[in-house]
Amino acid sequence: MASSSRARSSSPFSHRKPSSPYSSTSSSSSFMNNRLMPRSCSSSASSYFNSGNGFSSRSMTPNRSRSESMYPAPRGYSARAAPPVSFPSEELITEPFDAPQRSGDSISVTIRFRPLSEREFQRGDEISWYADGDKIVRNEYNPATAYAFDRVFGPHANSQEVYDVAAKPVVKAAMEGVNGTVFAYGVTSSGKTHTMHGDHTSPGIIPLAIKDVFSIIQDTPGSEFLLRVSYLEIYNEVINDLLDPTGQNLRVREDAQGTYVEGIKEEVVLSPGHALSFIAAGEEHRHVGSNNFNLFSSRSHTIFTLMIESSAHGDEYDGVIFSQLNLIDLAGSESSKTETTGIRRKEGSYINKSLLTLGTVIGKLSEGKASHVPYRDSKLTRLLQSSLSGHGHVSLICTVTPASSSMEETHNTLKFASRAKRVEIYASRNKVYY
């Protein structure tokens, strides 16, 4: 009998689960009084909802015994080439490179400037880098130094505009069974959290993506969906489950299909508000951690994952498509000279080491030739391995300040972004027939 165990996708954030304690009988479904009932259920719950009024109690993915891999490539598995999401092409203007012949798609790279902060303004910072049109970042003092990207947003762009370009196509593809990863990269205080989370007046990529996912469901009559979320942080190279305070120091496991976090909690979500409530709860857990360990949001990488399954009804049934959408707010690198305490210094060195490893991994991948890629050198790159090695769309949003006092740091971010553009990906649709 079916349970909520889902088919294994090629995403790095796949989580094995024991067989469901809830059987997927009608009594375990969320179909109560013809209303979708949010409930406090763990990953094992199976609650399907569709784009119409009805709900289904059946799971689309098969139950698997513990001894079996939860996500083997089942019979009938098909990984069809999906149409690439339409990101515009890009090229480096002043630092030409020998790009490998591309046969796949590439990482989409977006740059987002924030305005000069009050602090920068007060201390007399000038503009050192600026958006020259919507594809080029240019240096004010040396105009010949410029980089081109898929898209560059100046300081007055809002998060909805950034979302529409850098995340919406990835979200849309994820709803069609193609794994996706959107992540924000940049030095501390450059605007990563503003971009990924935002606030009530200016929601960021994560709430906008959640809203979009539910609106796509509404606009997809005749299909049923199952959505689950997980939320974790990597703090000092330790993975903590933000949806389950007892889930500390979780292990990264690996099997033939890639890496996954063992024992992470997944929650079924039934509405945008429901999904956002889990994020809010997760932030609370992270905050508690902060008090105990001097942990700040900027001191951990966070990964919010939305797991999506869908299937058409009745005669229209054409297999189950599934995907994972990973929305990542990286911790910002910070100069060690700003660290004041031992704990801060330790945090900073973990952050810098993992970001350095990310840079090395991107650099190796961008070379486009077979060589050792040190994914295992950090938890972040281990978890990102499947995404970066090409299984799904990847959108990198690099946040930068125009301030002259951060000119070198911004230049480093631009160089990282430039390298990332050269990484090839081969996104394919995940589909399984039962």
Ligand X SMILES: Nc1ncnc2c1ncn2[C@@H]1O[C@H](COP(=O)(O)OP(=O)(O)OP(=O)(O)O)[C@@H](O)[C@H]1O
Q: List residues near ligand X by CB under 6 A.
A: 114-115, 117, 186, 188-194, 297-298, 331-332, 399
Q: In the numeric block, which tokens belong to residue 190?
A: 């450059």
Q: Which is nearer to ligand X, 119 or 251 (CB)?
A: 119
Q: Closest CB to ligand X among 188 and 386?
A: 188
At its nearest, how many Å lie between ligand X and the CB of residue 165? Answer: 14
Q: Residue 62: helix, strand or coil by DSSP?
A: coil
Q: How far apart are CA 341 and CA 350, in angstroms?
A: 14
Nearest to 366 by CA among 384, 390, 383: 390
- In angstroms, the CA 105 to CA 90 distance is 12
Rounded CA gap, 7 and 321, in Å?
A: 9
Q: Which two tokens stand for residue 227?
A: 């959505």
Minimum distance between the CB of residue 186 and ligand X, rounded to whole angstroms? 5
Residues 6+ away with beta carbon under 8 Å from 229: 243, 266, 267, 269, 275, 278, 279, 304, 305, 306, 307
| 208 vs 320, beta carbon nearer ligand X | 208
Residues 300, 118, 202, 178, CA torsion sign: negative
Tracing tokens 């000092």 back to the chain, one arrives at 236
Contacts of 157 (CB under 8 A, 6+ apart): 112
Nearest-approach distance from CB 160 to ligand X, in angstroms: 12
CA distance 9 to 391: 9
Query: What's the min distance (Å) between Cβ of 265 and ligand X?
Result: 24
Cβ distance to ligand X smaller for residue 82 or 131:
131
Q: Which is nearer to ligand X, 5 or 159 (CB)?
A: 159
Q: Whole-number minimum distance, CB 298 to ligand X, in Å?
A: 3
Sequence-separated (6 or more) residues with CB below 8 Å from residue 52: 221, 222
The minimum distance between CB 315 and ligand X, in angstroms, equals 48
Q: Of 130 and 426, which has the nearer Cβ to ligand X?
A: 130
Residue among 298 and 352 whose Cβ is closer to ligand X: 298
Q: How far is the CB of 283 from ligand X (least distance, A)?
A: 13
